[in-house]
Amino acid sequence: MEGIPASEYQQRVSNCQKFARRQGFDAVLAYSGSRYSMGQGVESGQHIRYFVGFNFPPHLIQEEDVVVPYMLGDSLVVIPQEGNPSLLLSRQDPKSERAKNQVWLRDVRSISDEFSDQFSGAINRGLAELTKAVLDGKRKARIGIAGTHFSLQLQVELSKVLHKTKFVECGNELDQLRAVKSPNELRIMRKAADIADEGVRAMIETSRPGVAEYEVHMAVEKAMFDAGGDNPWSVIQSGPRATISYMSPDYTQRKLREGDMIYADIGSELMGYHSDIQPAYIVGKGNTEQLSIIEDSLNMLKAMFEAARPGATDTDVVKRAYAVINGSPFRDYVRKWTLGHGYGVGSDPPDMTSATLNLPKSKQMKLQENMVLCLEPGIFVPGVGGAAVEDEVIITANGCKVLTNCARRAGELLNEQRSA
């Protein structure tokens, strides 16, 4: 699969420079690392992946010792208002040396040896000193800083070495630059979505009484690897575990039983981009309540499909979903904190809005053509079961195009169950 050409990364840097000019920033510092937090979002190198690259196809990852620096530790992309960007790495080792030869960007530097103790916080000092050196001779009265997990310690060290500079947080604004996807990005994301769909197909095939959750997971993982995915993952929660969203191990030895609902979350990485979908499923024959849970989730998702178009806000989309289940006995069991999110480079869901789709929101976001959203209404009822139906959509000129098949499959499941 073709990668994203260097010219596109250059274009992104130049868009960021335009943004810096609008905001009156002399430079923008974009932090990347590899960090995962259920409470505070995911940091998986989105800035470095977006501006610099390292988005390798699976065959390079398999056969070359390519290095992905967002997993090497903390790093900064320094984008001055004019001129060339720099990448600052927090390690000085053969891996970082290799990283330097793997990107289009000319200026890649590592912190000096004296700051290299990874566990002492000295790297923050090292990154601050490097930033100062990179911006030497340039104006630096006002600098934008961005990164979901840009640390307090790094801010403190930057303020020490650049004590006349005013640092202004611009993470949300910088995230917005990523919200609208290019044709190259859409091409990769469509493929990643197809791969996840193969995973769902394998899940449905293997989910039979007596099969363990982890065996379903393995079948899903294998199907996505075979379909060309890189780093596929899945969550398979059955029976009583299906009533818990995200507060449980991803899969266990539990053997599926007739009448179990399955809550599953499935996706794959591909060249730095991700997919993320959720099928609803019942092993064998489900009861009326279980079918109603799926039907409500599906109706919410369909309403969201209808509402998602350029000019609509994320809140409009969420409100439409709630409107269709007014009066449903399961309304109070909706997973309120997420009805969806943007998606793109890195595994960072806030790619669109820096926040998930939920209510109430203090700040709304207008949808635009070529944004990619994952819509994931879900209902979890203790004693009964849980289901979410999640599909990925691209916002088009007049509405949205659904990339994956979870809604379609949920509709088929309901028909099958009702005719049985």
Partner 1 sequence: MDPIPISEYRDRLRKCQELAHRKGWDAILAFSGHRFSMSQGIEDGQNLRYLVGFNFSPNEIQERDVVVPYHGSENLLIIPHEGESSLIISTAETERIRKQTWLHDVRTTTDQFANAKYLGMSHIALEILNGKKGKLGIAGEHLPMDLHLELARAFPRTKLIDCTRDLDSHRMVKGENEIRIMRKAAEIADEGVAALIEACRPGVAEYEVHQAAEKAMFDAGGDGPWSVILSGPRSVIPYISPDFTQRKLRDGDMVYADIGTELMGYHSDIQPAYIVGRGSKDQVDLVQTSLNMMKAMVNATHQGATDTEVLRAAYKILEGNPFRDHVRTYTFGHGYGVGLDPPDLTGRTLTLPRNKQTKLKQNMVLCFEPGIFVPGVGGAAIEDEVVVTANGCEVISRCAERAESLIDQQRSLG
Question: CB under 8 A: which stretch of 22-30, 79-87, 241-249, 393-401 binds partner 1?
Answer: 241-249
Residue type, 207: S
Residue 4 CB, shortest distance to partner 1, in Å, is 19
Provide φ and ψ at 102, rounded to 5°: -105, 10
Q: For 373, how many CA atoms within 13 A lie in the half-sphere containing its CB?
A: 35
Q: Does 113 bind partner 1 (CB under 8 A)?
A: no
User: Token pair 């630096």 is at which residue?
Assistant: 140
Q: Does 110 bind partner 1 (CB under 8 A)?
A: no
Q: Does 214 bind partner 1 (CB under 8 A)?
A: yes
Residue 38 CB, shortest distance to partner 1, in Å, is 5
Which tokens hold the place of 388?
């979410």
Among positions 10, 142, 246, 259, the unique one binding partner 1 when judged by CB under 8 A: 246
Instruction: Please spell the DSSP secondary structure of 315-379, one letter per residue.
Output: HHHHHHHHHTTTT-TTGGGB-TT-SEEE--BTT-GGGTTSS-S-SS-SS--B--TTBEEEE--EE
Among positions 167, 225, 322, 330, the unique one binding partner 1 when judged by CB under 8 A: 225
Q: Does 95 bind partner 1 (CB under 8 A)?
A: yes
Q: Does 420 bind partner 1 (CB under 8 A)?
A: no
Helices (H) and strands (E) in the chain, counts: 12, 18
Q: Which is nearer to partner 1, 44 or 297 (CB)?
A: 44
Residue ranges in 283-342 that form contacts with partner 1 under rule CB under 8 A: 336-337
Q: Does 39 bind partner 1 (CB under 8 A)?
A: yes
Contacts of 137 (CB under 8 A, 6+ apart): none
Q: Does 35 bind partner 1 (CB under 8 A)?
A: yes
Contacts of 366 (CB under 8 A, 6+ apart): 310, 311, 312, 313
Q: Does 362 bind partner 1 (CB under 8 A)?
A: yes
At 255 the three-state DSSP class reads strand
- For the packed helices 314-323 and 288-307, what is the interaxial angle rounded to 10 degrees? 150
User: Token pair 């064998």 is at which residue?
Assistant: 284
Among positions 27, 123, 130, 352, the unique one binding partner 1 when judged by CB under 8 A: 123
Question: CB under 8 A: which stretch of 14-22, 35-43, 169-177, 297-305 binds partner 1?
Answer: 35-43
Residue ranges in 64-83 that form contacts with partner 1 under rule CB under 8 A: 64-69, 71-74
Instruction: List residues near partner 1 by CB under 8 A.
Output: 33-40, 58, 61-69, 71-74, 90, 94-95, 98, 117-120, 123, 149, 151-152, 212, 214-215, 218, 221-222, 225-226, 230-231, 239-241, 243-250, 252-254, 269, 336-337, 360, 362, 382
